[in-house]
């Protein structure tokens, strides 16, 4: 059977032209990182558009993004009134990609933990996947300079999410991902419950339920060198509880 016969109409149309790709970056006080990041993204992938979702950062990140968008038509900005969290920022990017008819949405953090050098491999993987994950836990991937305790905690959360939700990727908690937009369009975003850390696992679970194919490409995750982390341990515990509730639903089959 010819390869194209096994593809959906959407995949066929993407295969016959260059895919329109949107790279989304959620920002809260990332003025030290964003200008460097935008340059790096365009250095490796000049064909993409970039969407910055800024939550009224007090340091002026949103203002910088506006100015950049005036000089470069590949740059777009969504402003939100206040700090509404990474999960809802990611959903806003997904909705934007659907509304503006992009083929792929690639999401990465602003702080260089997700280095743009991996973008070409992520995009190449989309030929055979609906979701490509920049993965710390597949062969060749890893984390730089994490103490043993943090490594173990992250691996435990991943093991817990994979087993309780029946997810196949090795890295279910990272945010460096590329999505096929036509697959995202099958989701009902109003059913997404997570507002904090469990968002990453929850979205994979909903994607699995609409038949998404997952694949991973290795990345080395490095901690931020500039700016402040927005990590919060109360939110991390809330995430475990949400994954547990989803796991129960997963096994009961509702």
Ligand X SMILES: Nc1nc2c(ncn2[C@@H]2O[C@H](COP(=O)(O)OP(=O)(O)O)[C@@H](O)[C@H]2O)c(=O)[nH]1
What residues make contact with ligand X under the rule CB under 6 A?
Answer: 26-28, 30, 53-55, 83-86, 89, 109-111, 113, 224, 229-231
Q: Which stretch binds Mg ion (CB under 5 A): 106-114, 142-150, 210-218, 239-247?
A: 106-114
Query: Binding to Mg ion by residue 30, rule CB under 5 A?
Result: no
Burial 90-110 (b: 16+ CB within 10 A, else e): bbbbbebbbeeebbbbbbbbb
Tell me if 198 contacts Mg ion by CB under 5 A.
no
Rg (CA), the chain: 18
Residue 231 binds which entry of ligand X, Mg ion, none, CB below 5-8 Å type-dependent: ligand X
Q: Is 196 buried (19+), middle (13-18) or exposed (0-12) by CB count in 10 A?
A: middle
Q: Give the 3-state secondary structure percentages of the chain, helix then strand then coil, rounded to 5.
A: 45, 15, 40
**Distance from first CA to last CA of the chain, Å, rounded?**
36
Rounded least distance, CB 75 to ligand X, Å: 16
- Partner from Mg ion, ligand X, none binding residue 110, C-beta < 5-8 Å depending on class: ligand X
Q: Which is nearer to Mg ion, 57 or 164 (CB)?
A: 57
- Please state, in angstroms and rounded to a whole number, the distance separating the CA atoms of residues 48 and 220: 23
Closer CB to ligand X, 11 or 55, in the complex: 55
CB 64 within 8 A of CB 76: no
111 binds Mg ion (CB under 5 A): yes
**In the complex, what is the shortest distance from the CB of residue 55 to Mg ion, in angstroms, rounded to a whole number?**
15
Which one of ligand X, Mg ion, none is in contact with 26 (Cβ closer than 5 to 8 A by kind)?
ligand X
Query: CB of 232: closest distance to ligand X in angstroms?
Result: 9
Identify which of residues 65 and 129 has a Cβ nearer to ligand X in the complex: 65
84 is in the binding site of which of Mg ion, ligand X, none (Cβ under 5 to 8 A by kind)?
Answer: ligand X
Instruction: Provide the residue count of the chain.
Output: 254
Least distance (Å) between residue 228 CB and ligand X: 7
Nearer of residues 218 and 227 to Mg ion, judged by Cβ: 227
Residue 23: strand pairing partners: 50, 106
Distance CA 104, CA 106 (A): 6
Examine residue 113 and tell whether it contacts Mg ion (CB under 5 A).
yes
Using alpha carbons only, give the angle 51, 216, 214 rounded to the nearest 5 degrees. Answer: 85
Q: Which of residues 223-252 bind Mg ion (CB under 5 A)?
A: 224
């Amino acid at each position: 059977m010819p390869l194209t016969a096994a593809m959906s109409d959407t995949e066929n149309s993407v295969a016959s032209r260059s895919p329109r790709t949107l790279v989304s970056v959620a920002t809260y006080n990332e003025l030290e990182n964003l200008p460097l990041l935008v340059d790096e993204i365009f250095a490796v992938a000049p064909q993409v558009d970039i969407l910055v979702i800024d939550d009224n950062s007090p340091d002026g990140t949103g203002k910088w993004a506006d100015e950049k968008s005036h000089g470069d038509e590949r740059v777009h900005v969504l402003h939100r009134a206040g700090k509404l969290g990474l999960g809802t920022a990611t959903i806003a990017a997904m909705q934007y990609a659907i509304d503006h008819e992009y083929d792929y949405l690639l999401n990465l953090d602003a702080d260089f933990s997700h280095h743009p050098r991996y973008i070409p491999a992520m995009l190449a993987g989309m030929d055979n996947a609906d979701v490509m994950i920049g993965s710390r836990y597949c062969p060749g991937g890893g984390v730089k300079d994490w103490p043993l305790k943090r490594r173990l905690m992250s691996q435990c959360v991943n093991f817990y999410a994979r087993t309780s939700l029946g997810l196949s990727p090795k890295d279910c908690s990272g945010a460096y991902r590329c999505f096929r937009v036509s697959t995202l369009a099958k989701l009902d975003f109003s059913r997404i419950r997570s507002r904090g850390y469990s968002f990453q696992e929850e979205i994979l679970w909903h994607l699995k339920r609409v038949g998404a194919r997952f694949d991973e490409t290795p990345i080395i995750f490095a901690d931020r060198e500039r700016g402040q982390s927005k990590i919060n341990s109360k939110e991390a515990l809330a995430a475990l509880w949400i994954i547990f509730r989803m796991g129960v639903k997963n096994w009961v089959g509702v």
